[in-house]
Structure formats: structure tokens, C-alpha cells
Amino acid sequence: MKYLPLNPEIFTRNRRRFINEMRPNSIAIFVSNDEMPVNGDALYPFKQNSDLFWLSGIVQEDSMVILFPDNPDPKYREVLVLVRPNELKEKWDGKRLRINDGQSTSGIKTIVWVDSLEALLQTWIHLADTIYLDTNENDRKASMIRTRDYRYADELRSRYPLHHYERAAKIMKELRGIKTAWEIEVLQKAIDITDNAFRRLLKFIRPGVMEYEIEAEIWHSFLSQRATGPGYGSIIASGDRARTLHYVTNDQECKDGELVLMDFGAEYGGYNADLTRTVPVNGKFSRRQKTIYNACLHLHDYAKSLLKPGISIVDYTEKIGEEATQRFLKIGLLKKTAVKNEDPENRAYRKYLYHGISHHLGIDVHDLGTRTEPIKAGMVFTVEPGIYIEEEQMGVRIENNVWITRNGNKDLMKNIPITVEEIESLMKHS
């Protein structure tokens, strides 16, 4: 890993939170993600199961975390399972975690090699009444591939059909949505790295630069600051391409007079920043661009003011829709007749703002968390309104990351330049 070692207290506390939600005399088993093939004998870079990482901080393949708080043998109440180091394999693929590595990273004292797990696990399961198994229940999940967690669930249910089974994911959805102060420290580091990269870009962008050159600068800045890399595919969309929400081709020239929308964020210590800024390619907003940008910034600030414990995402989105309607009338995007005759299921403002305003953020860029229940203290959300105008071949989006507290919210990106004046000042080229 490129990042500095994290405080294992993060993961110790996370495990404690999960254990407090378990039924009496139950065991919870978490398995790592698959190593995914590309073509030939190549593999995609390994990405750990987010729940297993949340519990342990371990990013190595073929790992497991087993929690059995009522195990009669205290030694085995928390177990980290690792691949036994193999000298020949390490010559090809590099060093594997030793016992002290696993202990210092996760805070788990008991390490078991995966090739000696079988007999121990059978004994533990025979002692337990309930088995918690993990599955990917992210609401945004789109892949139908039957991953290792689902295959492992099939295997255990076949071998031990008379046990009672529970979904670990149901607990995880509640717990991972509420970030601890220790988690916020790591997320803030990812955000600070992203801040530095953005400031670098403001000095780099000028007419004639290619979108992929901007993306390359992001990679360079992230890696030089010990980030793992971007937390997701960077969106570098100049001109009319900014209206494509997930534009990642990044292969066109940024031209004089255009805006360039940049949506990117560093991954550090397993946690992801998610920033969007829209800046003028030539360093100076035109009058119309400034009008649209400030309208978007107004919606951004209004949305942040609403994000407090107790409000639901439905009510939050509805209020922002009302404000967007009024703002779009003011800047000439909407006419009163269009608003008067709008379809309640497809409101008039949706022509220019056609995506959600916020999503949970954390280990996953679209992190676990409820969409139906009221917002709770401890949650982290993006705030990212946009204005997309086909007639003017323009797209603007402004995104910060906000931590909800009992006393309101804390903008974790408050130090990142955001106003027209700040951006123009930093883009002045010598």
C-alpha cells in the first residue's frame, strides 16, 4: 500500500460496533473479494471487499474476518484469516502479510492461516446457533456476477442447513453509514490530497490542453501524495461534454471560451474523496458563465444548509427542486408557463438538473446508507447540484463532501477554492 499505516483503533471500534448488533451465540464470517481476470493470464488490480476492509483494514486477497463473541475460547472471538506466505509465490507476486503485519493493521490478535482454518471453523459453527454471512447489498449494485461472498453463502448453507442465517449486510448498511471521528480523519486526508491536486490543475489548465493531460496531472498529484490513486474514473469534460454525467473518455481538446467540468477524488487509506469543480479554460468566466456558475453555487450552498439530522432525502430533494425552479426562472432558463404546466412526476427544472443532489460517501464512493429514513448525525454526503444547458453547450457542477453532526454539518472541503473570484485568482498565469 502507498499510504501510511492507519490507526488500528479505526477497525477495532468498527468490529465492536458490529459485534454489539449480533444475536447471542452467533458467528459472523466475512470473505475477501475475488481476484478478477482481464484477458490471458492477467488480473485486474485487486480491490478488497468493503465490509471486510471496514472491519480489518486488510487489502490482501484470500483473507477472512471471523467474529464469534460468545466463543468459549476467548482466543478465537476475533480471528483474521490470511494466506500462508509462500517463498516461491512471493518471488513472483511480492511479500504477503505475516502474523505481525495482520495484527498491527487490524488490531486482531489471533491470526489463522487459511489452509488450517477448516477444522477450527467447523468446531466454531457447531457451537453457534446463528451464522451471519455478508453480501453486497448496495442499492446501486448493477453487476449480476455471482461473487465470492454469494458463492460462500451457498456453500455454508449447503453444509450447515439447520443453522439460522442472518444478513450481515443489513447491519453494515446502518453502521457504515455513520462515520466515526477516526474514519473522518482518513477521509479528510483523501480530501486534502484532492485539494492539492485541484490547486495544481488551476495553474496547469489553459486553452489547447487535452482532457487526458488534466487527468494525467491528477494521477501524478495523487500518487506523489501517497494516495492509492483516484477513487473512481476521473471525469474531465470540457465544453458540451460536461452535460454527460459519467463522461470518462477524456480525449478532447479544452478550447478557449469553454468551461471544463472536473469530477475527481483521491482514495487514501481505503476512503474516497469526491470533488467537482467547473472552471474556465482560459482562466476567466464570461458574464453568462459566471451567472450560471453562481446560480449553481447558490443551490450548492442552499443544499448544504438543509443537510441536518432529521430531514429525509426525499424532502431534501424536493426543497432543492423548489429552489432550483426559482433560480432557473431568475436566470432565464425556465418560463412561468413551463412551471405552471409542469408534470409533477417530471418537473420543469429537471430539464437542466437531471440527477440526484447527494449520495453517501466513504469506503465506497457511493457508500452504504439509507435513502428512505431520516438523515442521522455521523453520515457523510456529497452535495453536488448541477446545471446543464443543451442550448448553450454548457454544463456546471459544484460538489463538496459534508459530514453531518448533531450541531449541523461540517463541510470537509471548506478550504478548497469554490467561488468565481477564488478560481480566477488562482488561474492567473504568469
Same domain? For 205 and 332 the reply is yes
Number of domains in the chain: 2
Provide CB contacts within 8 A for 343, sequence distance 6+: none
Element (H, E) at 306: helix 287-306
DSSP 210: B
Q: Which amino acid is at 30?
A: F
Same domain? For 328 and 389 the reply is yes
Q: Is the pLDDT of residue 89 over 90?
A: no
Same domain? For 330 and 204 the reply is yes
Higher pLDDT, residue 184 or 430: 184
Share of the chain above pLDDT 90, in %: 92
pTM score of the predicted model: 0.95
Confidence of residue 264 (pLDDT cuts 50, 70, 90): very high
SS3 of 402, please?
Answer: strand
1 lies in a domain? no
Question: What pLDDT score does 165 carry?
Answer: 98
2 lies in a domain? no
352 lies in a domain? yes
Compute CA distances 254 → 60, 245, 275, 412, whole Å.
40, 17, 20, 29
Where does a domain end: 140, 173, 206?
173
Ranges assigned E (strand) in 162-298 = 164-167, 229-230, 235-238, 259-264, 266-268, 271-272, 275-280
Same domain? For 114 and 207 the reply is no
3 lies in a domain? no
Give dist(CA 402, CA 361) in Å, integer.
Answer: 9
Tell me the three-class secondary structure of 57-121, residue by residue: CCCCCCCEEEECCCCCCHHHCEEEEECCCCHHHHHHHCCCCCHHHHHHHHCCCEEEEHHHHHHHH
396 lies in a domain? yes
Q: Is the pLDDT of residue 19 over 70?
A: yes
Where does a domain end: 144, 173, 202?
173
Share of the chain above pLDDT 70, in %: 99
Mean pLDDT over residues 38-56, rounded?
94
Mean pLDDT over residues 95-117, rounded?
97
Residue 28: count of CB within 10 angstroms of its CB = 26
Give dist(CA 8, CA 14) in Å, integer.
Answer: 10
224 lies in a domain? yes
Compute CA distances 313 → 89, 162, 356, 397, 411, whole Å.
49, 40, 10, 19, 18
Same domain? For 206 and 279 the reply is yes
Same domain? For 326 and 373 the reply is yes
pLDDT digits (tens, 9 = 90+) for 52-77: 999 999 999 999 999 999 999 999 99
CATH number at residue 145: 3.40.350.10
Where does a domain end: 141, 173, 205?
173
Same domain? For 165 and 292 the reply is no
DSSP 13: H
Q: In terms of residue numbers, what domain contains 115?
A: 9-173
pLDDT digits (tens, 9 = 90+) for 303-321: 999 999 999 999 999 999 9
CATH number at residue 269: 3.90.230.10
Considering the chain, what is the average pLDDT of its residues?
96
Compute CA distances 283 → 33, 145, 252, 277, 348, whole Å.
44, 45, 18, 13, 32
349 lies in a domain? yes
Question: What pLDDT score does 371 carry?
Answer: 79
How much is the CA Rg of the chain, to the nearest whole Å?
24
Question: What pLDDT score does 125 carry?
Answer: 98
Alpha helices (H) in 128-180, listed in sequence order:
148-159, 168-177
